[in-house]
Amino acid sequence: MEHEAPHYDVLNYLPDGIIIADERGVILFANDSFAEMLGYDTAMLLGLNMLSLLADIDVFQACISKVMVEGKSLDEETDLIHRDGSIVHSIKSVRMIRQDERIRFFVNIRNLTDINHLNKELLASKELIELQAHELSALLTSKNQELEEILSSIDEVIWYIDNQTLSLRYVNHAVEEVFGFSRETFLNDSTLWQQRIYPDDHALVQMFFETLLPGQSQTIRFRILHNDGETRWLNSRIYHHPKLHFFIGITSDITAPKAQRDEINFLAYHDPLTLLPNRAKLKLQIESRFEHSSATPFALLFLDLDNFKHINDFKGHEVGDKILIEVSNRLKKTIGENDFCARFGGDEFVLLLHNTDRHDIDSMATQLIQTFKEPFVVHDADFFLSSSIGIVLYPQDAQSDDDLLKHADTAMYEAKHRGKNQFVYYHSSMQCAVRNFLHVESLIRDGLSQNLFELYFQPLIDTKTLQTEGYEALLRLPHPKEGFISPDIFISVAESNGDILLIGKKVLVQACDFIDSVRSLYDEPFFVAINVSSKQLHQEEFAHQLLDYLYLRNIPPSYLKVELTESAVMENIDIATRQLTQLKEGGIRIALDDFGTGYSSFAYLAQLPIDTLKIDKSFILPLFEGSSNRHIVEAISNLAHVLGMKVTAEGVEEPSHYDFLIDNKIDTLQGYHLSRPLPKTEILQKLQERAPYFTAVTSQPNKQ
């Protein structure tokens, strides 16, 4: 075989591994591609038995048996052993060739671990293609049967056409898989390949052949229609032979790899869930506007869904994802065809409007907010959402993409602070508010991570017995670096960013710890009142989880009172009624805090399972600055008693307050005149010493 090897030199130009072996498996010829695939010099492979290169030698006998019966074995995966010991995954095709009464096995091997290897070989230099085309042309002209079998074993379509008429003169069997027609059909109808070109690509292919000069080789990608009607993408490396007057080509079906690349390219600039442009595409869009129309103004809208996190937390991401898809669909239907919408991340969306007229922007922002009026239906359940929108204008508000997004985000947060479900234009004064918000937010995170939050307890005094009937738990944040942080500062931030849920859990734990400690020292019944935010109340399992926790701590529900503001209750009266009813039925008392400062809807008041009305201190502190506040306090007291509720007055800071409230049959008093809020240690010390929290001091000396 050594003397025959040069006859096969042309096989060294093929990208696939090619070997020829005898019936025992001894390698008589190996091309350079096969040697390179396994890390050998070509000469080292000659005379080796194929068995020494197989990871599983059983496949050899099975393959030979099949080939001896059928004459061929196509597309079977085989693991080969690299010279360095590693495994090379490959797919092989084997054909039996009879040569001078001798049996030879022709093996075509493709390296699956480097699927792009073939494409790289097809894009080889002009000189290599010219040599390959020349050698192939010579072999095809001689109609050598052995070479015909070899070419028929190659998966790529090898062909040549007349450079004048573009009539097909030769094609190998691989054309059958790519086009879906037999090789004979193509050879009998020399123009069939042109008829199968995708209509929109006819002009492209025609121009390619008209401009490809003799001696040149180029690559073209175009579409064809398969016999089954499917559109396929082909990649052809074509050489215009200057002497033979042929176009010689090697063509691959790249439909699947191209689809994968197209998908990768799409996902690089689009959100895989909503299919909207993503943050990277948004950045390119803004930069394009800067580059091509720097003097043209536009508006950027930053839209964030209000309270969407609760849906993910309590309904799961499957429901949340379905809602996000519907949100994106509604946004796309709302904006104009020249506008741009991207998913910025999570539940945030950014829109670019080409129209910068304030009236038109207001109209679009209003329409966007209106898109959320209809409920989002998932699994037959209705979900109601709203959105907050921040608006920034180019170029007056910012002149870079980072500043545009940052300022729009700032305006969006301002919209949330103003009550959500609205849009706000950016103003430079907002930066200070955002910095303060972020600073307080970091202090809250310190408090949560370092367990800095601490409950103080302010006694509530029964006006009939002048004894303590319970305590209100008041949250404090003593920061080691920033000092005492007022609840008036951090509570609103925690409610805005959702940290109030984590804080609420810490409050419940500390309140129950306090109840256990007081019960061990104090035999009389009492309660601890904890404040509950609207976010906690609107958690679907809030009441159930609270009662379960008391059960686990072995604390009777009567020791806990829940205080809520009017605004928290009225934000969603149906959910509030359901939750409060469940708490009430479980044995927990309920107080309506800050009464008179919110909605004050007496119709709803009668329907809610409330035990106590707490008159806000804003009515108590100015009791004697005019008669109206005293009349309001008297009216609230009368109303509550008619409805079977108790009344608590907070903000009792003067003896005159104390006297008036006692005279008007207010049931419970709370304020600095009676006792300031105390840490747990002081409360327990007073209980151990049986020391009173206060000594009744009136503004009238003859009163006790």
Residue labelled with tokens 């970091």: 442
270 secondary structure, DSSP code: B
Domain identity same for 76 and 129 = no
Other beta carbons within 10 Å of 47: 11
Domain identity same for 293 and 352 = yes
From first CA to last CA, the distance across the chain in angstroms is 126
pLDDT > 70: percent of the chain: 88
Q: What is the pLDDT of residue 134?
A: 66
Q: What is the pLDDT of residue 493?
A: 86
CA distance 37 to 20: 16
**Is 700 a domain residue?**
no
3 state SS of 257: helix
The CA distances from residue 684 to 522, 561, 677, in Å, are 9, 20, 13
Task: Say which residues have a Cβ less than 8 Å from residue 160's Cβ, sequence separation at least 6.
Answer: 137, 140, 169, 170, 241, 244, 246, 247, 248, 249
Residue type, 251: T
Digit-coded pLDDT (tens) for 336-356: 888 999 999 889 999 999 878
Q: What is the CATH number of the domain that holds 621?
A: 3.20.20.450
The pLDDT confidence band at residue 130, using thresholds 50, 70 and 90, is low
Domain identity same for 134 and 179 = yes
Strand order in the sheet with 17-21: 27-30, 17-21, 102-111, 87-99, 72-81
The CA distances from residue 123 to 217, 220, 251, 528, in Å, are 10, 11, 12, 80
Last residue of a domain, one of 260, 282, 309: 260
CA distance 704 to 687: 24
Beta strands in 100-163 (DSSP E): 102-111, 157-162
Pick the closest to residue 518 from 663, 313, 680, 404 (CA basis): 680
Residue labelled with tokens 């068995």: 51
Residue 203: pLDDT over 80: yes
Residue type, 573: I
| Domain extent for 12 | 5-114
**Is 701 a domain residue?**
no
The pLDDT confidence band at residue 122, using thresholds 50, 70 and 90, is very low
Domain identity same for 420 and 309 = yes
User: 665 in the Ramachandran plot: left (φ > 0), alpha (ψ -120 to 50) or beta?
Assistant: left
**Is cis: bond before 480, omega within 30 of 0?**
no
Q: What is the CATH number of the domain that holds 327?
A: 3.30.70.270
Other beta carbons within 10 Å of 702: 5
Mean pLDDT within 660-668: 89
Mean pLDDT within 66-95: 84
Task: Say which residues have a Cβ less than 8 Å from residue 356's Cβ, sequence separation at least 6.
Answer: 297, 298, 299, 393
Domain identity same for 287 and 343 = yes
Point out which residues pair with 471 in neighbouring strands.
459, 528
Q: What is the pLDDT of residue 704?
A: 39
Backbone angles phi, psi at 556, to 5 degrees: -60, 140
Domain identity same for 347 and 405 = yes
Last residue of a domain, one of 197, 227, 260: 260
Q: What is the pLDDT of residue 677?
A: 93
Pick the closest to residue 301 from 333, 269, 337, 349 (CA basis): 349
Q: What is the pLDDT of residue 119?
A: 52
Residue 199: pLDDT over 70: yes
537 secondary structure, DSSP code: H
**Is 392 a domain residue?**
yes
Q: What is the pLDDT of residue 366?
A: 94
**Is 489 a domain residue?**
no
Pick the closest to residue 488 from 480, 476, 479, 478 (CA basis): 476
Helix, strand, coil % (nearest 5) of the chain? 45, 25, 30
Pick the closest to residue 511 from 685, 690, 680 (CA basis): 680
The pLDDT confidence band at residue 89, using thresholds 50, 70 and 90, is confident
Digit-coded pLDDT (tens) for 571-626: 777 888 899 999 999 999 999 987 766 545 566 677 789 999 998 888 888 787 77
The pLDDT confidence band at residue 50, using thresholds 50, 70 and 90, is confident
- Give the best-scoring range by mean pLDDT among 56-65, 119-128, 359-368: 359-368
Domain identity same for 518 and 624 = yes
3 state SS of 691: coil
Burial class (CB in 10 A: 0-12, 13-18, 19+), 546: buried
DSSP string, 53-92: GBSSTHHHHHHHHHHHHHSEEEEEEEEEE-TTS-EEEEEE
CA distance 704 to 702: 7
Q: What is the pLDDT of residue 611?
A: 93
Q: What is the CATH number of the domain that holds 177?
A: 3.30.450.20
Domain identity same for 140 and 197 = yes
Give the H/E segment covering residue 562: strand 560-565
CA distance 692 to 672: 14
CA distance 128 to 149: 23
**pTM here?**
0.49
Domain identity same for 547 and 621 = yes
Last residue of a domain, one of 114, 129, 151: 114
26 secondary structure, DSSP code: B
Least confident residue range of 23-27, 257-261, 585-589: 257-261
Sign of CA dihedral 252, 256, 259, 264: negative
Mean pLDDT within 112-117: 61
Residue type, 414: E
- Give the best-scoring range by mean pLDDT among 248-257, 414-423, 477-486, 528-537: 528-537
Domain identity same for 125 and 103 = no
**Is 487 a domain residue?**
no
CA distance 557 to 295: 67
Domain identity same for 283 and 213 = no
The CA distances from residue 678 to 444, 473, 518, 561, 671, in Å, are 22, 10, 14, 18, 12
Task: Say which residues have a Cβ less than 8 Å from residue 300's Cβ, sequence separation at least 6.
Answer: 286, 350, 351, 352, 353, 391, 392, 393, 394, 404, 405, 408
Task: Say which residues have a Cβ less than 8 Å from residue 552's Cβ, sequence separation at least 6.
Answer: none
Domain total in the chain: 4
Runs of H (alpha helix) within 143-182: 145-152, 175-179
Task: Say which residues have a Cβ less than 8 Å from residue 336's Cβ, sequence separation at least 6.
Answer: 353, 354, 355, 364
Residue labelled with tokens 């947060």: 413
Mean pLDDT within 134-160: 64
Mean pLDDT within 184-212: 90
**Is 496 a domain residue?**
no
**Is 184 a domain residue?**
yes
Q: What is the pLDDT of residue 5?
A: 47
**Is 350 a domain residue?**
yes
Backbone angles phi, psi at 180, to 5 degrees: 85, 10
Residue 294: pLDDT over 70: no
Give the H/E segment covering residue 594: strand 589-595
Structure-model confidence comparison of residues 638 and 144, the more confident one: 638
CA distance 193 to 72: 28
Residue type, 220: I
Average pLDDT, the chain: 85
Domain identity same for 43 and 188 = no
CA distance 544 to 537: 11
Least confident residue range of 232-246, 259-273, 363-377: 259-273
Pick the closest to residue 591 from 663, 513, 657, 670 (CA basis): 670
Task: Say which residues have a Cβ less than 8 Å from residue 145's Cβ, sequence separation at least 6.
Answer: none
539 secondary structure, DSSP code: S
